[in-house]
């Protein structure tokens, strides 16, 4: 276990002591202790920067289950480090924010920080694991800790609903990923991502490779809230705002993007990868921005905007792969799109984190997040207003903030793909910029909507539950820090290009590095006059017009029928699933013994008859059979006749006596078959059994003594006939297919010499196979004791009382 492993597991280890700290030290907010953890980790991870900048990686192995090739291999490269810094950096800010957001007296802080630290370990584990099974382990840990955090206020019904929904959807994705991992490791022979990558060419033509690809993408799409799995994210907004800011904007939802980036070197040369990743991302961008405009809750707007922005990054990761598919495209598109994806990933974490914190402040200080009640807060909350303005303008892609730059780079990528004549259909390729521009226009509209409806416009203080005022300084520091990053990156875009972006892009594109190429990361604030700039102007002007006319066309949203909304579909699916399974259960499990016996006998018949048929076992060999004697035929007739009469007997007494007849006939058979011991036993036991039957019959209550014949049921008759038929057929088939002689000769030869006995059956019972007899005696003893207990221990006056 190296220091690196310790760093990944540090939050988990600290979380063990949180409840103790919370209970013992009540005067200090527990968050201050927690804050030390991400701060330490930021400092620790920063020291790797110099190594990743030089193109080096760090590997540390901790043995876990070496026999199964499952070891905790911590692996730090540019991509992993970028995420690790995001997780710990934004983690520090969120913890600081939560100290002021959560009331130490009212909230269960120990739960909150334990879940949060658990989540932090899980995220660090995902991004720094090379072994896919270990990565999966941490992946599911994020699902669980996110579930716990969303359901933090568990007494609220909506929290529980949101937590369950996110759990179901992300765990569905997680299990798909496990399937993908298993398939990929079957093909590559290793659980290690690096080792799989090294041999990818040898197995990439296998059909299972494509299945594995789809399963991995399912995991990425569910985690990163891509269409149609995005529906859990808006409901996850029931979590406390620090959680929304941390998990549902900056870190967990980017785990899917991380997975796509990490797996790109393996899968990206498959055309399906490009189609799925870019089109799903693009549609999510469009759909998320379209839906964000109709929301009235600040956090819901931000949730849909997160979905939309994640779609943007996802589509960029896919667009890069286009260069691998189409000869005409320059390879620089591959690198440019990847750099844009990484750049926007960082930008989004900065502005979306600050916006969520802003929404939390507004909620905290006014008591509501409903934009219909808010308005005109700019003079009351000037600092928050500044934060919101910078964050939303960056999100909308307005210069000079960082969102503008990444949006320009996004448009470049989209335009290049559309010019490639992809799919030999120019029309289809043209869809990309079209959808991208529409998505961006709606992004602009909802960004302005957030600022305008919250801070500008008419002030309606009387509608607010609380009297609004500026937030405490501790709550403002984290978002201020983030928006200053927004401005800083916007003005000096190359600030991070060498330290963070290039190493991350190199990790996504190891081929470029391997072939001796380099990835140019030159982000310019001013591109000159080009098509992208024109599109930005178009987006801003059309967006402004749409925003000004918003009240006129907003009602269009309500035209969409509720039935086709995905949430409705999800709820229906769950409800129908429950109803169907309970309906099946109610039909199958009737509670009547008879139904179950019918199932059992039916299955026996089907299995026996079909296997006889398919194994071609209907062969009857008459050769080794013994001769037929008259005695035996007569006895068979008596046996069969009495057995059949039992079923038709009206009275139960007749049935009992007929059963006796059958038993005595069987004893006679034993005589004929030269089995004297059997005949003796059978006679005695049949007598005792019949006596017992009669005893029970005698004690029957009056009503039950009413005699009636068994009601004839065709189904019962058919099933019993088939069971009888299978027994006969199996007997006949096995009679004619005997392969070995009996071992009986051994007993016959040795019974006198070895066991000093004359009666072979008895010697077998007590000498050769004496164990059977021992346990048969036990069976009788248990039956006797059981009968004694049943009769003597009763509810009334028995041991029970």
Partner 1 sequence: MEIIMAIAAGILTMCAVYLILSKSVLRIIIGTGLLSHAAHLLVMTMGGLKTGAAPVIKDGITQYTDPLPQALVLTAIVISFGVTAFFLVLAYRAYQELGTDNLEEMKGTDTHD
The nearest distance, CB 469 to partner 1, in angstroms, is 57
Asked if the bond preceding 400 is cis, omega within 30° of 0, the reply is yes
Closest to partner 1 by CB, 302 or 751 = 751
> Which stretches of 437-520 are assigned E, i.e. beta strand?
none
Closest CA to 90 of 262, 327, 248: 248
For partner 1, the closer CB: 469 or 594: 594
- Report, in Å, the least distance between residue 754 CB and partner 1: 12
From the CB of 458, what's the least distance to partner 1, in Å? 59
Minimum distance of partner 1 from residue 575's CB (angstroms): 23
CA 710, CA 471: separation in Å to the nearest integer? 84
Q: Minimum distance between the CB of residue 577 and partner 1, rounded to whole angstroms?
A: 23
The structure tokens 């798909």 sit at 176
Reported in sequence order, the residue ranges of 186-321 that DSSP labels E, i.e. its strands, are none
Q: Which of 151, 163, 82 is nearest to 123 (CA)?
A: 82
Cβ nearer to partner 1, comparing 456 with 729: 729
Q: How far apart are the first and last CA of the chain?
A: 61
At residue 578, φ and ψ (nearest 5 deg) are -65, -45
Kindly state the DSSP code that residue 424 receives in the 8-state scheme.
G
Instruction: Tell me how far, at minimum, the Cβ of 651 lies from partner 1, in Å.
Output: 11
Four-CA torsion 751, 753, 756, 761, nearest 10 degrees: 0
Residues facing residue 63 across a β-bridge: 71
CB of 607 to partner 1, least distance (A): 16
Q: How far is the CB of 675 from partner 1 (least distance, A)?
A: 5
Q: Pick the closer one to partner 1 by CB: 529 or 740.
A: 740
Nearest to 539 by CA among 430, 401, 445: 445
CB of 609 to partner 1, least distance (A): 13
Closer to partner 1 at the Cβ: 106 or 706?
706
Q: Which residues, 6 or more positions from 759, have their beta carbon under 8 angstroms from its beta carbon?
A: 677
DSSP 421: T
Which residues lie below 8 Å from residue 273, measured CB to CB, with a gap of 6+? Answer: 213, 217, 264, 267, 318, 321
Q: Residue 218 has which token pair?
A: 């399912």
Q: Which residues of 632-656 are buried (b: 16+ CB within 10 A; e: fewer)?
A: eeebeeebeebeeebeebeebeebb
As a whole number of Å, the CA-based R_g of the chain is 38
**Smallest separation (angstroms) from partner 1 to the CB of 755:** 11
Give whichever of 456 and 760 is closer to partner 1, judged by the CB atom: 760
Please give the torsion angle defined by the CA atoms of residues 143, 144, 148 and 150, in that order, rounded to the nearest 10 degrees: 10
Residue placing its CB nearer to partner 1 in the complex, 467 or 794: 794
Pick 525 or 719: Cβ nearer partner 1: 719
| 3-state secondary structure (DSSP) of residue 171 | helix
Residue among 526 and 771 whose Cβ is closer to partner 1: 771
Nearer to partner 1, 562 or 795 (CB): 795
Residues 6+ apart with CB under 8 A from 644: none
Residues 645, 649, 654, 655: what is their CA dihedral angle, to the nearest 10 degrees? 70
Looking at beta carbons only, is 463 or 713 nearer to partner 1? Answer: 713
Of the pair 382, 724, the CB lying nearest partner 1 is at: 724
Q: Considering the complex, what minimum distance in angstroms separates the CB of residue 749 from partner 1?
A: 10
Residue among 411, 550, 556, 395 at smallest CA distance from 483: 395
CB 665 to partner 1: min, Å? 9
């Amino acid at each position: 276990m190296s220091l690196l492993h310790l760093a990944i597991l540090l939050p988990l280890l600290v979380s063990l002591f949180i409840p103790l700290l919370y209970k013992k030290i009540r005067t200090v907010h527990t968050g201050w202790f927690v804050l030390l953890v991400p701060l330490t980790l930021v400092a620790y991870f920063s020291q790797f920067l110099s190594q990743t900048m030089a193109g080096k990686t760090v590997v540390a192995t901790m043995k876990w289950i070496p026999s199964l090739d499952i070891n905790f291999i911590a692996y730090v490269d540019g991509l992993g480090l970028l995420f690790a810094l995001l997780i710990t950096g934004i983690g520090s800010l969120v913890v600081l924010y939560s100290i002021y957001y959560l009331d130490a007296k009212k909230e269960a802080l120990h739960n909150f920080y334990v879940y949060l630290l658990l989540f932090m370990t899980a995220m660090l584990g995902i991004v720094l694991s090379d072994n896919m099974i270990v990565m999966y382990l941490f992946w599911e840990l994020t699902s669980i800790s996110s579930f716990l955090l969303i359901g933090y206020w568990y007494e609220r019904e909506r929290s529980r609903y949101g937590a369950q929904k996110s759990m179901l959807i992300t765990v569905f994705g997680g299990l798909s990923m496990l399937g993908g991992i298993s398939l990929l490791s079957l093909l590559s022979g290793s659980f290690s991502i690096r080792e799989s990558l090294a041999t990818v060419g040898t197995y990439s033509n296998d059909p299972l490779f494509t299945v594995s690809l789809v399963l991995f993408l399912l995991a990425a799409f569910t985690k990163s809230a891509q269409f149609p799995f995005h529906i859990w994210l808006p409901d996850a907004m029931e979590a406390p705002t620090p959680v929304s800011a941390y998990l549902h904007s900056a870190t967990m939802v980017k785990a899917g993007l991380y997975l796509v980036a990490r797996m790109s070197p393996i899968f990206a040369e498959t055309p399906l990868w490009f189609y799925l990743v870019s089109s799903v991302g693009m549609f999510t961008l469009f759909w998320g921005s379209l839906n964000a405009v109709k929301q009235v809750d600040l956090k819901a707007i931000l949730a849909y905007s997160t979905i939309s922005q994640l779609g943007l990054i996802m589509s960029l990761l896919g667009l890069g792969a286009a260069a691998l598919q189409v000869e005409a495209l320059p390879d620089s598109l591959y690198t440019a799109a990847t750099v844009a994806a990484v750049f926007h990933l960082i930008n989004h974490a900065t502005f979306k984190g600050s916006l969520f914190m802003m929404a939390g402040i507004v909620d905290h200080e006014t008591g509501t997040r409903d934009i219909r009640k808010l308005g005109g807060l700019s003079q009351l909350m000037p600092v928050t207003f500044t934060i919101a303005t910078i964050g939303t303008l960056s999100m909308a892609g307005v210069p000079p903030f960082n969102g503008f730059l990444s949006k320009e780079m996004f448009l470049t990528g989209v335009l290049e793909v559309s010019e490639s004549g992809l799919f030999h259909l120019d029309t289809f390729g043209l869809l990309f910029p079209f959808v991208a521009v529409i998505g961006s226009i709606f992004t602009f509209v909802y960004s302005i909507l957030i600022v305008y409806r919250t801070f500008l416009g008419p002030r309606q203080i009387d509608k607010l539950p609380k009297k609004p005022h500026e937030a405490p300084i501790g709550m403002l520091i984290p978002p201020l820090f983030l928006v200053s990053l927004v401005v800083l990156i916007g003005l000096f875009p190359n600030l991070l290009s060498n330290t963070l972006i290039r190493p991350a892009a190199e990790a996504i594109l190891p081929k470029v590095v391997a072939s001796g190429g380099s990835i140019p990361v030159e982000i310019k604030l001013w591109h000159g006059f080009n098509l992208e700039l024109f599109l930005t102007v178009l987006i801003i002007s059309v967006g402004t017009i749409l925003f000004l006319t918003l009240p006129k066309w907003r009602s269009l949203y309500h035209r969409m029928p509720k039935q086709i909304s995905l949430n409705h579909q999800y709820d229906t699916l769950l409800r129908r699933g429950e109803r169907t399974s309970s309906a099946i259960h109610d039909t199958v499990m009737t509670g009547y013994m008879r139904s179950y016996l019918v199932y059992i006998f039916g299955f026996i018949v089907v299995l026996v008859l079909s296997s006889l048929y398919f194994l071609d076992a209907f062969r009857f060999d008459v050769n080794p059979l013994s001769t037929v004697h008259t005695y035996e035929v007569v006895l068979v007739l008596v046996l069969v006749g009495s057995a059949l009469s039992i079923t038709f007997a009206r009275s139960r007494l007749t049935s009992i006596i007929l059963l006796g007849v059958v038993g005595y006939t069987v004893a006679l058979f034993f005589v004929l078959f030269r089995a004297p011991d059997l005949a003796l036993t059978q006679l005695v036991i049949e007598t005792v059994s019949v006596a017992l039957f009669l005893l029970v019959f005698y004690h029957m209550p009056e009503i039950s003594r009413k005699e009636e014949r068994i009601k004839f049921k065709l189904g019962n008759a058919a099933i019993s006939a088939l069971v009888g038929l299978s027994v006969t057929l199996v007997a006949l088939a096995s009679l004619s297919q005997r392969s070995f002689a009996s071992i009986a000769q051994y007993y016959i030869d040795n019974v006198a010499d070895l066991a000093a006995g004359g009666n072979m059956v008895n010697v077998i019972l007590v000498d050769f196979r004496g164990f059977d007899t021992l346990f048969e005696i036990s069976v009788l003893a248990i039956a006797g004791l059981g009968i004694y207990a049943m009769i003597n221990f009763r509810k009334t006056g028995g041991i029970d009382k």
